[in-house]
């Protein structure tokens, strides 16, 4: 069976030690879904604590024999701190890093050493043998004036060594196709994995889209409105919407699907069950 399209998940670490057990349970439930990698967030909301991220990445690699990707935001760190972090990664044999700028926190000082993710990419390149991923934005990053400027900056990140890209979540595949075309025109050849978030509850999706600026197409808003008082139906419709996006993306030759599962293994399983044969060019005899 040849796998043509990468299939992966994002997990976020728990707030407290005791909840690490839940992550192990989630990973146990994900283990037969043939993920190509599982990425682990770090510092969303401005935290500087990384231990859980590294612990989870190590668990993914060692117990579940799956490739992990460690997210690393740099905007609140010095070169010394990042160098120490990279040493911890090396000590734990973690070789894949999603190099991020991160979002500014009001409570923390901005780094004197890193202004953009591309600065971090360059630093990582000089400090070890890592596979470096970068983030990208089909609807344009919310601080950019326009998509041309944003893609120009993305090209800098790729040229400095980000050799694979993962997109921010999006709900309209046309945004992704336009973005891909613009990347190709700018000479960006790195594979681009599409970030898909199946909605399972209305509050969560409104909060997340507010934070990242993803727009909600009319068809999607209708689903949210129609099933807002029926959690089960909303989750069913949200998963079906994501499946629809994925079928279209794979049909059009996407490099990979990266699922933002919000630590819900059942979401990953339902998507997998509805789409797994699409990830292979041939299944069975």
Give the binding site for ligand FAD (CB under 6 A): 41-44, 71, 73, 98, 100-103, 116-118, 135, 141, 143-144, 150, 153, 156-157, 166, 168, 195
CB of residue 119 vs ligand FAD: minimum separation in angstroms?
Answer: 8
Catalytic residue set: 10
Q: Residue 67 or 141: which CB sits closer to ligand FAD?
A: 141
| Cβ atoms < 10 Å from Cβ of 255 | 16
What is each CA distance from 252 to 1, 98, 175, 256, in whole angstroms? 20, 25, 13, 11
Closest CB 283 distance from ligand FAD, rounded Å: 29
| Residue 61: Cβ within 10 Å count | 19
Q: What is the DSSP letter of 258?
A: E
Closest CA to 257 of 63, 39, 70, 95: 39
193: number of Cβ within 10 Å: 24
Biggest distance spanned by C-alpha atoms of the chain: 59
C-beta of 30 vs 259, nearer to ligand FAD? 259
User: 143 or 273: whose CB is closer to ligand FAD?
Assistant: 143
Q: Give me the least distance between CB of 130 and ligand FAD, in Å please.
A: 15
Backbone angles phi, psi at 66, to 5 degrees: -125, 145
């Amino acid at each position: 069976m040849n796998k043509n399209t990468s299939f992966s998940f994002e997990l976020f670490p728990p707030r407290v030690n005791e909840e690490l057990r839940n992550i192990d349970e989630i990973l146990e439930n994900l283990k037969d879904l043939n993920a190509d990698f599982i990425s682990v967030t770090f510092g969303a909301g401005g935290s500087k604590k990384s231990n859980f991220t590294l612990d989870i990445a190590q668990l993914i690699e060692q117990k579940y024999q799956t490739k992990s990707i460690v997210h690393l935001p740099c905007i609140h760190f010095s070169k010394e701190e990042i160098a120490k972090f990279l040493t911890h990664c090396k000590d734990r044999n973690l070789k894949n890093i999603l190099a991020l700028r991160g979002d500014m926190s009001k409570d923390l000082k901005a780094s004197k050493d890193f202004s953009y993710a591309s600065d971090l990419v360059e630093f990582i390149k000089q400090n070890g043998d890592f596979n470096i991923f970068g983030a990208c934005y089909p609807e344009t990053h919310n601080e950019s004036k326009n998509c041309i400027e944003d893609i120009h900056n993305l090209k800098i990140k790729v040229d400095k060594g980000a050799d694979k890209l993962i997109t921010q979540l999006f709900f309209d595949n046309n945004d992704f196709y336009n973005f891909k075309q613009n990347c190709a025109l700018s000479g960006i050849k790195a594979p681009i994995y599409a970030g898909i978030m199946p909605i399972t509850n209305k509050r969560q999706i409104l909060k997340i889209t507010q934070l990242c600026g993803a727009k909600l197409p009319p068809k999607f808003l209708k689903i949210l409105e129609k099933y807002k008082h029926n959690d089960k139906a909303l989750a069913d419709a949200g998963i079906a919407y994501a499946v629809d996006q994925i079928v279209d993306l794979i049909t059009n030759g996407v490099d990979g699907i990266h699922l933002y599962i919000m630590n819900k293994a059942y979401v990953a399983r339902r998507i997998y069950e509805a789409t797994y044969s699409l990830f292979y060019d041939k299944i069975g005899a």
